[in-house]
Amino acid sequence: MKTRRITRERLVPHTLDGKTRMVPDDEVIEIPLPPRDWDQLALNTVTVIVTLLVSACVVWSTVSIGDLLSRVVVEPAAYGAAAVFDLAWIALMIIEWLARYTPARGNKARIGGYVALIVAMGAVGTHGWLAGDAATGIVGAVVSGLAKGTWTILLDYQAMPLDKRTAAFLQQELAEAGAELSRVPVRRRVTRARALVEAERRALEADRGSADPGRADESADDPDADVLAIRPGAVSTKDAVRIAWDSDIRDRDAVIRYVAKATGRAPSPDTVDRYLRALRIGA
């Protein structure tokens, strides 16, 4: 069995002058090597070969179709458009691979990939026919077909087969995750809309308050302006704190001033704080 040597660090006791400490020390050990995975090596080799085939196909098709289109347009535009023919079916093939766990979603990409391949092969064949060499055009078109076919077989081999129930389960998982993701922009829009409504409401209230002649002598900073006046001494400290809280008065000093005005006597700050804490917990 093959092994390989590795060096690792460990703590060992070391004593000097009767004093022992744990110090780092290097240890060389041998561990067994796993057997070579020839299947994975072969798959990696095939993947490299197919990648080279696709690259050669793109170059061949681009040059061939670009020469065909350069008869009517300038060369940069012609070769740029020519690259689209093969890149289209390559992109659709990648989408088909991404949808391997939900085959129904990959049907359109699969059909579109074959359509794009046929168009590319037709363009390459047309170039050879117009150039006066039909055989070259046919062979060039077959290059794209071989590259596409080989890559499709490789992707089908690497895609794990799923039974019907497992595919349905994964479909539901993806649907649930998609629903959660779709709620993010919706919540963002709802929050923005509510913020706009609240800003407009406050603006309208401010305009209405400044235009009210009966409130001209009230200070805008007076927290008691929106609180209904009551007869001093008619309520308890607890009731006065509750009324201030319900009137959206949250500042402690403002609440104390209102309680003093409502009850006719200065309240205990500790008592007011206790009632406010209870209201905050209840809210």
Cβ–Cβ under 8 Å, residues 89 and 149: no
80 with 140, same domain: the answer is: yes
Mean pLDDT on 138-152:
88
Please report whether residue 19 resides in a domain.
Answer: yes
Cβ–Cβ under 8 Å, residues 42 and 13: no
158: pLDDT strictly greater than 70:
yes
Looking at residue 214, what DSSP letter applies?
Answer: G
Cβ–Cβ under 8 Å, residues 120 and 68: no
Pairing of strands 19-32, 3-16: antiparallel
Separation of alpha carbons 254 and 223, rounded Å: 6
Reported as a single tens digit per residue, the pLDDT across 95-124 is 988 888 877 778 888 899 889 889 989 998
pLDDT confidence band for 45 (50 / 70 / 90) = very high
Share of the chain above pLDDT 90, in %: 6
16 with 99, same domain: the answer is: no
Q: What is the pLDDT of residue 218?
A: 44
Least confident of 28-32, 47-51, 159-163: 159-163
51 with 13, same domain: the answer is: no
Identify the domain containing residue 154 by its residue range. 43-161
Please report whether residue 173 resides in a domain.
Answer: no
224: pLDDT strictly greater than 60:
no
- Of 108, 133, 161, the residue that ends a domain is 161
27 with 51, same domain: the answer is: no
Structurally, the chain folds into a number of domains equal to 3
Q: What is the pLDDT of residue 100?
A: 81
- Of 161, 193, 221, the residue that ends a domain is 161
Q: Which two tokens stand for residue 32?
A: 């067994």
Separation of alpha carbons 71 and 60, rounded Å: 18
- Of 94, 129, 161, the residue that ends a domain is 161
Q: Indicate left, alpha or beta for 146 from its phi (over 0: left) and psi (-120 to 50: alpha).
A: alpha
20 with 52, same domain: the answer is: no
Helix/strand number for the chain, H first, E second: 8, 2
Q: What is the pLDDT of residue 199?
A: 81
Reported as a single tens digit per residue, the pLDDT across 22-41 is 999 988 888 888 888 888 89
Quick one: how far is CA 72 from the chain centroid? 44
CB atoms within 10 A of CB 148: 24
* DSSP string over 87-142: HHHHHHHHHHHHTTTSGGGGHHHHHHHHHHHHHHHHHHHHHHHHTT-HHHHHHHHH
Please report whether residue 47 resides in a domain.
Answer: yes
74: pLDDT strictly greater than 80:
yes
Looking at residue 226, what DSSP letter applies?
Answer: T
Separation of alpha carbons 248 and 269, rounded Å: 19
Residue 23's contacts (CB-CB under 8 Å, 6 or more residues apart) are: 11, 12, 13, 14
Q: What is the pLDDT of residue 52?
A: 92
Mean pLDDT on 203-208:
70
pTM above 0.75, yes or no: no
